[in-house]
Structure formats: structure tokens, C-alpha cells
Amino acid sequence: MSPSKDLKKQLRKEALARRDALDEFWRVEIALEMAETAKEKIDFEPGRIVSGFWPMRSEVDVRPLMFALREKGARLCLPAILDKTTIVFRELVRGAPMVEMGFGTVGPHEEAEVLDPTLMLVPLAAFDARGHRIGYGAGYYDRAIARLAEKGIMPRLIGIAFDCQEVERVPEENHDVIIPEILTESGLRRFDIA
């Protein structure tokens, strides 16, 4: 393993330990506050396709946030794991069947329509003040974003995390996707990534 990968692994472990230590009731309140922030700060045209994610472990519960965006006219989708390297985004429709996706998450059944999101809520293990992120190490989102770019779709990316997941500096690798906006309990932060 490269020194960069080793450092990412260590930073991920430390950030997730800090996140895991947060009070679960506080996390619920913060998820509701973040949904209010999203209503005020995340503007888009009605009908825009927005991908969220089903929270796992101590992640920010983005379901209230997704509901707030749906109220503003978003068409929602969730990631569906197809294999060890690929996710697609299936439409999330009220009352449609949900299935286990692995990693403690669920998603829409395989009969749900596959959509290409133009706004993505991206889960983070850690991030820095430059918008560099550390995911969970499987690279699903990096590859999904690259596939969208190949289709000519450059989605608006908004990372979702708690402030305690911020680290001083994320080591950079060529395949990494920089996240220009990150929503935490402190608000929506925008980074200049030019």
C-alpha cells in the first residue's frame, strides 16, 4: 500500500471514530437542522434529479434533507450496488419496494428506473478545507462521477458530513474527485477548486 493510501486509511479511521462518538440524539437534531439549511441554501430547478444515500452506521441521516429537496421539486434517486466496482442511481418513489444493498444500506428495487443525477449528495468519511474528500475506500462514487462525466453530465456535488470529520489535509491521488460544497452542522461551505 502506498504512503498516501496508508495515510488516507488512518485519517478515515480517526474521522469515523470521532463521528461514531457523537451522541445519536444530537445527530437526529442535526439531520433536521441540515434539512432546513438545504431548503434555504440549495437552489435548483424543479424536476432536477438528486441522488441521496441511505445512511449507514453513524452517517448524517440525509433522509430529512432528501425530503426537503423533494418538497422543492427534486426527483430523488439512491445508489444501487451492481457489483464490487459499480453503482447506478435508481429512482426513489414513495411506496416502491426497497431491497438490501449491502453495507447496511437499502435502495430501490431493480425494477426502479435508473437515473443520471445532476445534483449528488455525497457521503464522506473525512474532508479538508480544500474540498478534498476521503470516502470509504471502495471508489464507488469516484467511478460513478467519472461515468457521468463521460456522458457529458457534470453533477453539482455536495458532500455531507459532520464538522468533526474535517482533517487538516487529505492526501491527493489522481483519481480523486474534489467536492466543491460540503454541508455540515455549521452550514453549507463552498470551496474554490479552480
Q: Which residues are annotated as a binding site?
A: 8-12, 59, 133-141
Contact by Cβ (8 Å): 65, 81: no
Annotated binding site for ATP: 8-12, 133-141
Cα separation, 113 vs 93, in Å, equals 10
Annotated binding site for substrate: 59
Contact by Cβ (8 Å): 52, 78: yes
Label the pairing between strands 75-81 and 49-51: parallel
Residue of 60, 182, 185 lying closest to 133 (CA atoms)? 182
Question: What does the block give as the cell for 38?
Answer: 438545504
